[in-house]
Amino acid sequence: MFLARVLASVMLLLTLTSPARAADEPLSLWNDSPSRNAIIDFVTRTTTNGSSDFLPPEQRVAVFDNDGTLWSEQPMYFQGLFVFDRIRELAPQHPEWKTKEPYASILKGDYKKALAGGDKALITLVMATHAGMTADEFSSIVAQWLATAEHPTLKRHYTELVYAPMLQLLDYLRANGYKTFIVSGGGIEFMRVFAEKTYGIPPEQTIGSSIKTKFEMKDGKPQIIRLPQIDFVNDGPGKPVGIARFIGRKPVMAFGNSDGDIQMLQYTTGGSGPHLGVIVHHTDATREVAYDRQSSVGKLDKGLDIAAANGWILVDMKHDWKKVYPFE
């Protein structure tokens, strides 16, 4: 009995003083900050039996923007960089591109001029690189690009440029019975190539913009053919529409970083019942890039103005995160 008691005391002591304890705490990659505490408080309230904010598991739906919320988006949305790389790769098969805009500017490395043509130029480039093949072929092209391409300045594969504190948050939410979804303006089939391995989010929980497709039996084999026509733009007011269509249930947590996430945040936090809206604010010029109101990519302007009035939590990347990227 005596030995058992000593053993129990020692184990208690270990529990109280072990350095392993910090790592076991939720969101250990987050500093003790209002944003971290608001998230933990919300998850605790909604998952504690008997709490007035308790949510049954099927209502625990959390939605995440991707670009700028789960991975970086500077100097340009990574899918945009994929488009540029792809145009260069396909150029030998299209000699006419050397003198035809917006291709010509891209081949000269002048992305700004290429995109000066606005939506029309952008759609032309997207269709030239995203349509005209089967779904399987497109996935292979993206997978190959992700495995080989490097970020222009950081010289890392793009899937390395994910936010370690957000990966930890995804795990933490799932460990608490939350179902995690991506709701992004990015291409749905583009993101699905890496979302499962990178974020633990399966394709059926990855929602994004899409082009039209059609089904065909080709030489006795079933194929999904990608067509050069916009189907759905899952950005801004399109995000709640995409959520209603794909999830069919209002989320209770929403995480975004730009004005394109405002409607998703409004939809999530605008009704009754427990809800939490969070905006990741890019404040870290050293470890990442500091940008908000003036940025052409991931612009956060109106969102900053209305966050407080809506009760949305701002994550201050510089002060709230112990590290930004997993490789740090």
As measured in angstroms, the least distance from the Cβ of 223 to its own copies is 9
Q: Should residue 267 be labelled a site residue for its own copies when binding is judged by CB under 8 A?
A: yes
Q: Pick between residue 186 and residue 238 the one whose CB is nearest to its own copies.
A: 238
Tell me how far apart the alpha carbons of residues 285 and 287 are, in angstroms, rounded to a whole number: 6
Q: Should residue 74 be labelled a site residue for its own copies when binding is judged by CB under 8 A?
A: no
- Residue from 55, 91, 104, 224 in contact with its own copies (CB under 8 A): 224
Q: Should residue 241 be labelled a site residue for its own copies when binding is judged by CB under 8 A?
A: yes
Tell me how far apart the alpha carbons of residues 169 and 108 are, in angstroms, rounded to a whole number: 41
Site mask, its own copies, residues 40-59, x = CB under 8 A? ------------------x-
Q: Should residue 249 be labelled a site residue for its own copies when binding is judged by CB under 8 A?
A: yes
Estimate to the nearest angstrom the gap between the alpha carbon of 41 and the chain centroid.
Answer: 23
Q: Between the CA of residue 326 and those of 29, 127, 141, 166, 168, what are the distances in Å?
A: 10, 33, 26, 10, 10
- Residue from 65, 67, 73, 189 in contact with its own copies (CB under 8 A): 189
From the list 253, 307, 261, 183, the residue with the least C-alpha distance to 43 is: 253
Q: Between the CA of residue 88 and those of 103, 129, 211, what are the distances in Å?
A: 9, 10, 22
- Residue from 80, 186, 187, 240 in contact with its own copies (CB under 8 A): 240
Is residue 247 classed exposed, middle or buried when 0-12, 13-18 and 19+ CB atoms within 10 A define those classes? middle
Q: Should residue 309 be labelled a site residue for its own copies when binding is judged by CB under 8 A?
A: no
Q: Pick between residue 179 and residue 281 the one whose CB is nearest to its own copies.
A: 179
**Structure-block tokens of residue 284:** 């870290």
Tell me which stretch binds its own copies (CB under 8 A): 9-17, 110-118, 214-222, 319-327. Answer: 214-222
How many CB atoms within 10 Å of residue 18? 11
Tell me how far apart the alpha carbons of residues 298 and 116 are, in angstroms, rounded to a whole number: 18
The footprint of its own copies (CB under 8 A) covers: 58, 135, 179, 188-189, 192, 196, 202-206, 210, 213-215, 217, 220-222, 224, 237-241, 244-249, 263, 266-267, 270-271
